[in-house]
Amino acid sequence: MAVLTYIGFDGISTLSDEAQDPARTIPRAIILTCLIKGLLGSVEVDLAQLMWPRGAAFPDLDTAYVAVAQRAGGTFLFVLMNGALLIATIESGMASQLGTARLLFAMGQNGALPRRFFGTLNPVRRIPQNNLLLIGVSVLIGSRYRAVELWRASGLHGCQRCFSSSGVAYEGLKPWLPILLSGSGFVVCFFLWLNLGPTARWAGTAWAVLGIALWLVRRNQMTADKQFTGPS
């Protein structure tokens, strides 16, 4: 789920309410997660390339690493790898659901979404219960109608990644550095966007334009409300 929604390392930022000293720990957690995952992924892929015969096709690209594990360690490592992937998938889904629920909660608190539904917490457990249930039901319905396969086939997940990674805020740095870093990320994502399929490109762009339009409407409403009520 995290891979398809891209609530991954950046999803750590949605858990600021649960963290101690979030201004210091959350940025460090995000950077360390990127570095550790990048290093482990590079080593794993390199070892897999050394293990698999050059030029040979995988039985299934979605389960390529499991096939490599079977070749390296036989049935035992094959079963062990499948079990580890199952546990990791459950953990990834739980983390994605919690991160998305917290993101919706923040949007509800800020008034971007209806506060009565999205911006409330369970009085006992102190979790955004409405958001968690909404996400769970949406995923259940989507799995019933094979929404994941359609999402991946259209390339919409790539378009989502391009827009979600185009701008990042950096605090505590010199003024020109955040602009340089965000601009570099936008350029990279723009070239990725150019190589998306036509369905993903147009649907994703329309979704982004709709989001920007809603943000402008909301900003104008807030400005009008301030002018009406006057300074506090």
Confidence band of 154 (pLDDT split at 50, 70, 90): very low
Check if the beta carbon of residue 99 is closer than 8 Å to that of residue 15.
Answer: yes
Give every CB contact of residue 59 below 8 A, 6+ residues apart in sequence: 67
Q: What's the total number of domains in the chain? A: 2
> What domain range includes position 116?
1-145
Percent of the chain at pLDDT exceeding 90: 7
Between CA 226 and CA 232 the distance in angstroms is: 9
205 and 93 together in one domain: no
Between CA 140 and CA 138 the distance in angstroms is: 5
> Which two tokens mark 184?
């570099």
Please count the CA atoms within 13 angstroms of the CA of 216 that sit on its side-chain side: 6
Between CA 108 and CA 212 the distance in angstroms is: 17
Closest CA to 97 of 4, 220, 171: 4
pLDDT in tens, 35-67: 888 898 899 889 888 888 888 888 887 788 888
**What's the pTM?**
0.62
Confidence band of 203 (pLDDT split at 50, 70, 90): confident
Residue 103 lies in a domain: yes
| Residue 211, CA distances (Å) to 67, 207, 216 in order | 41, 6, 9
What pLDDT is recorded for position 149?
A: 53
55 and 137 together in one domain: yes
The residue out of 145, 173, 203 marking a domain boundary is 145
The residue out of 87, 114, 145 marking a domain boundary is 145
Residue 150 lies in a domain: no
130 and 196 together in one domain: no
> Which two tokens mark 189?
């994502």
129 and 15 together in one domain: yes
135 and 186 together in one domain: no
> Which two tokens mark 186?
């936008």
